[in-house]
Amino acid sequence: MPFERIAILGTGLIGASVGLALRRSGFSGTVVGWDKDPAQLSIALEKGAVDVAAQSGLAAASQSDVVLLSGPVFSILDWMEQLAPVLKPGQLVTDVGSVKGVITERASTLYASESAAAFLPGHPMAGKEFSGAAHAEAGLFDGAVWLFTPISAMREHASLPEREWRQWVCRFGCRVLDLEAARHDHLCAWVSHLPQLVSTALSAVLEETFAADEDLRAIGGRALREMTRLGASPYSMWRDIASSNSDALTVALHALEQRLAHIRENLKTPELRAEFERANQFRLGSNADLAGEES
């Protein structure tokens, strides 16, 4: 008895892309959407990312087999609180939050009892520097990894909707990988959150130094465009991530600052060679996956 109704609470970039990906992958049930911003919800409806625009997220969730919480981390935590007493065993709640420690911990208290719905914390490693349903695409998850950080108590007996949700994620073109939540947050601080903040810092310092300089605009090439692309990312998407993964991010940022200082102090010494060789090794050596893909 496959699930027939999914509620997507938060129909921005990721939520609406999931709706489109479900449809492209042959999902024949009903996708109910809700968003606190009616404009996002109506764009999602127009694009066919959702079939039905719900007035109430709570009502939509209570009537669905699967509930996808899609939005900033703190809004996911809010919905987890609101939904826990309302939902029933047999229903599955899953999410796409970028930080998994706080979410997985909260789930292990709110969704652990036998009378609760199941909760599967998830995180697709895909996105854009622009938010909103207008940028949603069915192919957003092609080739990406969709991470799950299952609550340990639930691992042994994955529910039917959980196994089914994992299959849909595979049909979106994703590889699935299970991690401990703490390890997820550690890794994502380095591979996702740090690159974002570096691009933000680089863009911000260029804006402050050159604001109205026409020549700067004219001469920047691919390196500048690429390294500042994520500078366009909105604060609204990143506030909760920076706040809820601040410990891991503090370590990563500090390490990078030290590295840049070391490079700055060695612009004219052979030590600079060692830094380039370490960097080459990352791209060309053990990480063959990364090399060349976009060249």
Residue ranges in 160-189 that form contacts with a second copy under rule CB under 8 A: 175, 177, 179, 183, 187-188
Single residue of 10, 19, 79, 128 touching a second copy by CB under 8 A: 128
C-beta of 29 vs 195, nearer to a second copy: 195
Pairing of β 175-178 and β 118-120: unpaired
DSSP annotation of 229: G
Mutual angle of helices 271-280 and 246-265, in 10-degree steps: 140
Q: Which helix (H) or strand (E) holds 32?
A: strand 30-34
Nearer to a second copy, 54 or 188 (CB): 188
Rounded least distance, CB 156 to a second copy, Å: 22
For 260, the token pair is 């840049």
Rule CB under 8 A: is residue 132 a binding residue for a second copy? no
Task: Kindly state whether residue 284 participates in binding a second copy, applying the rule CB under 8 A.
Answer: yes
Q: Tell me whether residue 36 or residue 229 sits nearer to a second copy (CB atom).
A: 229
Selected binder of a second copy within 14, 20, 147, 151 (CB under 8 A): 147
CB of 90 to a second copy, least distance (A): 31
Q: What's the one-letter identity of residue 285? A: G
Q: Which of residues 253-272 bind a second copy (CB under 8 A)?
A: 253-257, 259-261, 263-264, 267-268, 272
Query: What whole-number distance in Å separates Cα of residue 295 and Cα of residue 293?
Result: 6
* Residue pair 243/210 in contact by the 8 Å Cβ criterion: no
Q: 176 is written with which tokens? A: 């699935």
- Of 5-13, 16-24, 67-75, 283-291, the segment contacting a second copy by CB under 8 A is 283-291
Tokens representing residue 164 in the block = 């089914």
Nearest distance, CB of residue 244 and a second copy, angstroms? 9
**Residues in Cβ contact with 121 at an 8 Å cutoff, skipping those fewer than 6 apart:** 94, 95, 97, 100, 103, 104, 107, 148, 149, 150, 151, 181
Tokens of 69: 């919480």
Q: Hunting for tokens 């789930």 — which residue is that?
A: 107
Asked if residue 144 binds a second copy (CB under 8 A), the reply is yes
Total of chain residues touching a second copy, rule CB under 8 A: 99
In the range 195-254, which residues lie near a second copy by CB under 8 A?
Answer: 195-213, 215-235, 238-239, 242-243, 246, 249-250, 253-254
Site string for a second copy, 60-89 (x = CB under 8 A): ------------------------------
